[in-house]
Amino acid sequence: MQSPTLIVICGPTAVGKTAFAIDLAKSLSCDIVSADSRQFFQELSIGTAKPNAQELSEVKHHFIDNKSIVEEYNASDYEFEVLDFLKGYFQKNPIAILCGGSGMYINAVCQGFDSEVPTADPKIREALNERFEQEGIVSLQKQLLELDPLFYQEVDINNSKRLMRAIEVCLMTGKTYTEIRKGEKKKRPFNILKVGLGMDRKKLYDRINKRVDLMMHTGLEDEAKSVIKYREKNALKTVGYKELFDCFDGNTSLEFAIEKIKVNSRRYAKRQMTWFKKDAEINWFQANQLKEVSLFIEKQLS
């Protein structure tokens, strides 16, 4: 039996990772582990572009619909659960695919978190929460840009919890969050092979726009209404939901909200590429190069 290998399929939103990973998994006779930090939640489907019923029936997927939005769940929890799952899985199958666009969650599995990242400081967190309530998210964005411009380029700047966590670490350590997170890479008991999927920017942005239109057509507005009572949960401070919540509050029109989802999705894709391009271990291919990727993997596994 060959050495256990985790094949990572990553890239920006809407590039086609799901379909690509399914085709690859079928050829390798293996399962897929989701590395999308929103697909874990049972209540979110349309806005998270989960694999549909047909796709889920073609290949066994893990870490999709495994949590409720009311549960607190983070990358550290995910790291522990995925490693525990892989320990048993690799006893029966030597290959698994980790597929998604959440760079922090992919890193959690592949290299772990730096143990030097400090736990929360209640006083600093309370002050940041108070400022957020009084001055809004722009105040946090400006402070993070001053403290850690590199992480500012990677993080979802509309996610208040991630902004506050990064600022908190900077203030507690006197270092940038980027420096603290680098840490020492943890050794994993399996090989890791990373494949990044790219696409011409114009084509990718066009795919993003069309996907948003399809999401609206298939019921994203109703899905957002069904979870608005959970809007303070971190999982819903994300593109596709927060723009519609703003619309429901009467602050914007539906047409404006849809356009804003497209704009923010394109910006998110850009941040994802910034994150992934910094990883020298990723082997880049175009999203339509399944045959080339298959040959590359076969060569690496031989």
How far the first Cα of the chain sits from its last, in Å, is 12
On whether both 133 and 277 belong to a single domain, the answer is: no
Query: From CA 156, how far away is CA 225, in angstroms rounded?
Result: 23
CB neighbourhood size of 100 (10 A)? 25
CATH number of the domain encompassing residue 275: 3.40.50.300
pLDDT digits (tens, 9 = 90+) for 204-220: 999 999 999 999 999 99
On whether both 194 and 174 belong to a single domain, the answer is: no
pLDDT digits (tens, 9 = 90+) for 69-115: 998 888 888 999 999 999 999 999 999 999 999 998 999 999 986 54
Query: From CA 111, how far away is CA 89, in angstroms rounded?
Result: 19
| Average pLDDT in the chain | 92
Residue with tokens 């939103």: 13
How much of the chain exceeds pLDDT 90, in percent? Answer: 75
On whether both 108 and 196 belong to a single domain, the answer is: yes
CATH number of the domain encompassing residue 137: 1.10.20.140
On whether both 238 and 160 belong to a single domain, the answer is: no
Query: From CA 200, how far away is CA 91, in angstroms rounded?
Result: 39
Query: From CA 216, how far away is CA 236, in angstroms rounded?
Result: 17
Q: Say if CB 193 and CB 6 are below 8 A apart.
A: yes
* Burial of 296 per CB tally in 10 Å (0-12, 13-18, 19+): middle
On whether both 224 and 82 belong to a single domain, the answer is: yes
Domain final position from 162, 182, 202: 182
- Residue 1 confidence (pLDDT): 55
Q: What is the mean pLDDT of residues 263-267?
A: 96
Query: From CA 267, how far away is CA 250, in angstroms rounded?
Result: 24
Residue 245: give the domain boundaries: 5-112+185-301
Confidence of residue 234 (pLDDT cuts 50, 70, 90): confident
| Global pTM exceeds 0.85 | no
Triad 165, 171, 174: Cα angle to 5°: 125
How much of the chain exceeds pLDDT 70, in percent? Answer: 96
pLDDT digits (tens, 9 = 90+) for 123-169: 888 899 999 999 999 999 999 999 999 888 878 888 888 899 889 98
Give the number of domains in the chain.
2
